[in-house]
Structure 1
């Protein structure tokens, strides 16, 4: 046997040692991993996708690029197609890393072109109408505006993380990942808001039983309807705050830090760096209506 033949034989032997799994088994293992490591929402999104894929690819031992492309091209929305393609790529990569598959059939499939819609930012007059209609929950929503926080960050904000001139927001990208912290300067209006809030327990905003809120999307939708304004989301409040900071001349780096973006490209590209510090930036954020 020549050296070339020996190398070829060795490669074939290694191939034979690799574990072969049916697609349904790969999916089952992937979901078990996601349930432990990722958020419940992300797990459910993958579970819904995988249920559909199992019906199509079921007991197949081999799934090729064409199979994936046919599935992705069957989606009516390019946005949804791209979202599912990303999850499919991660599904197969999970199997490749564990030697259940030799290659990832979706690896080199490019995302579909998407025309990005401009994010809706409610005008200030709608924000004011919203806050008036929010009633007793007004301070909750104003805190989101004056911190540019995510809904979940405010829901789980504790009094122990509120200091005289700043507060600490905490977020977790995945279930088993470390908490990421960032400091947000407290401007005069936010300071007034926090001073008015009753301390019912460890959380700044909580239910009557002291437990933190989970999701308040229905509350927000109801307030928009009551105020007679176009419906917007919690994330729109972050965009509103970021746009006001940009108008005030805040630098990209300061707004990026306040929003908690890991990459500058995530922060809106129209923001320009003009040299203001974080504290000065937060002091420039205001709604022209008393809280």
Structure 2
């Protein structure tokens, strides 16, 4: 509950669900934030009639209207990038088909965040003076977050390809900079005990249990699970085109609906076009679903678990049950077998170790191993 003084002098009003965040420029922004919904930015001055109108519209699930930005013109308060500058190169990259048509919206947003931040510092610098030394320093400065540093390096490699193609640079200065090796195994893979703990907290019939089942028994990403609905099911098979890479390398998977998932679907109230819906009956946005699932995990005492971890759990479980790399890829939709190899590799290691120790137990525990005569002599010499 946040209290604002009305600008017309009639008093104050208390408004629910409002939060204040500080953006990367140090500016305070006000959002309406409710569990299970996307955050909505309120752009009007607090306390004004315009602000109250935006607040009421946000409560109804409507985003505030913004003045349209004219193509090719800078937004109010911005200045056009000078030719040949780093900012001009970034804007040129944003206009390419490789950026606009081949990248998913989420990837576009992440790239813009990284490159726009660089423009704040280096936007006026000449792009043709950029060297591999500069790129290396930008990469090293983010060594405390290796994944973020590698994402920046990847963005710069694509950015400078545009510069080389346009004749601004002779070579790509990011080409020979090596990314940081990945530490750890990424998202935590759920154990069977953790799955049982989640299920004990969230019984069949709840949205949380339905979300768990869709993630675990399909092996799909959260961006696909939020879109799954009755229209994707035919003759007991669920067929869906994965959101990741759908623009340029679409992957469609068909998965049989196993009995545990069918039981949960039959006993849960679901949406008409999407099984998973918010409290207001609308399909989840990907980000809000991820936050909601995190909340469900915390309620079960599993703060370290996430939705993506269940995708890894599904693949790992298939590998432990003897599924081949081709079979796992047919479920998860991975494009190359190398992406699923570590699941089967770990499972094979476990199976080989079990059989090896069985042999040791069968043949080693009942027989005493006698040292050879040569071995006995060496032992005698070393004793002397």
TM-score by length of 1: 0.77
**Is contact 2:294-2:307 (8 Å) kept?**
no
Distance 1:37 1:210 in 2: 32
Where in structure 1 are there 5+ consecutive unaligned residues? 1-19, 275-291
SS in 2 for 1:168: strand
**Residue of structure 1 equivalent to 2:228:** 157
Which among 233, 236, 239 is matched to residue 168 of structure 1?
A: 239
Which among 263, 288, 293 is matched to residue 192 of structure 1?
A: 263
**Residue of structure 2 equivalent to 1:67:** 134
**Residue of structure 1 equivalent to 2:198:** 130
Larger radius of gyration: 2
Query: Larger RCO: Structure 1 or Structure 2 (Cα < 8 Å, ≥ 6 residues apart)?
Result: 1
Which among 98, 105, 108 is matched to residue 40 of structure 1?
A: 105
**Is contact 1:154-1:169 (8 Å) kept?**
no
Shift in alpha-carbon separation, 1:243–1:141, aligned structure 2, 3 A: same
**Residue of structure 1 equivalent to 2:41:** none
**Residue of structure 1 equivalent to 2:320:** 247
Shift of 1:270: 4.3
Distance 2:180 2:278 in 1: 43
Where in structure 2 are there 5+ consecutive unaligned residues? 1-82, 349-384
After superposition, residues 90-239 of structure 1 pair within 5 angstroms as: 90-117=158-185, 119-135=187-203, 136-137=206-207, 138-174=209-245, 176-177=247-248, 179-198=250-269, 200-207=271-278, 210-214=281-285, 215=287, 216-239=289-312
Question: Is the strand fraction higher in 1 or 2?
Answer: 2
Question: Is the helix fraction higher in 1 or 2?
Answer: 1
**Is contact 2:229-2:271 (8 Å) kept?**
no
Shift in alpha-carbon separation, 1:36–1:267, aligned structure 2, 3 A: same
The size of the alignment, in residue pairs, is 255
**Residue of structure 1 equivalent to 2:85:** 22
Which among 80, 87, 99 is matched to residue 155 of structure 2?
A: 87
Name segments (4+ residues, structure 1) moved above 6 Å: none
CA deviations 1:227-280 (Å, max 9, x no partner) are: 123421111111111222122111111012111100111114240699xxxxxx
Distance 2:261 2:181 in 1: 42
Distance 2:91 2:160 in 1: 12
SS in 1 for 2:234: coil
